[in-house]
Homo-oligomer: A and B are copies of this chain.
Amino acid sequence: MKLSIDPSSADPLFDQIARGLKRALTTGALGPGDRLPTARDLADSLQVNLHTVLRAYAILRDEGLLEVRRGRGTVVVARAKMLGDARLHRAVANVVSEARRVGLEENELLRLVSDGFRERTEI
């Protein structure tokens, strides 16, 4: 998995790394279930700080592309979650984000969603 970064570039290293990994995902160089190098290993090979790689991993995790777990490392999410559930996943993430934005508690959000489900609301 080659991945090159440019320390003299204007855009941040963590962003270059995140984009590089995303590119590897779209080109198929990285596929579902593939294990990524540990953050420390990738940091060493790229000659950047550990935190910089962790931040890049966190970005892709937040986008639903990676599963990052303590003690286990980082793997590309299963194909089922990437494709079939992509829209649902985004919708869930979005509604959680909106709920947080207006300061809703978990049970309040669940109540809203439950109501919405029964009312057969449309977009």
User: Which residues of chain A have a CB within 8 Å of any CB of chain B?
Assistant: 22-23, 25-26, 58, 62-65, 84-85, 87-88, 90-104, 106, 109-110, 112-114, 116-118, 120-123
Q: Which of B62, B87, B109, B121 contacts A98 (CB 8 A)?
A: B87
B84 touches A96 (CB 8 A): no
Once A63-B101, A88-B99 are accepted as A-B contacts, the answer to whether A93 and B110 lie under 8 Å apart by CB is no
- Copies, count: 2
For the complex, what is the distance from the CA of A22 to the CA of B100, rounded to whole Å? 8
Q: Tell me if A's interface is mostly helix, strand, loop or mixed.
A: helix
For the complex, what is the distance from the CA of A112 to the CA of B106, rounded to whole Å? 12
Given A87-B101, A92-B116, A96-B113, 16 other A-B residues pairs in contact with their CB atoms under 8 A: A25-B103, A62-B120, A62-B123, A84-B98, A87-B98, A88-B112, A91-B95, A91-B98, A92-B121, A93-B116, A93-B122, A93-B123, A96-B116, A96-B117, A99-B117, A110-B110
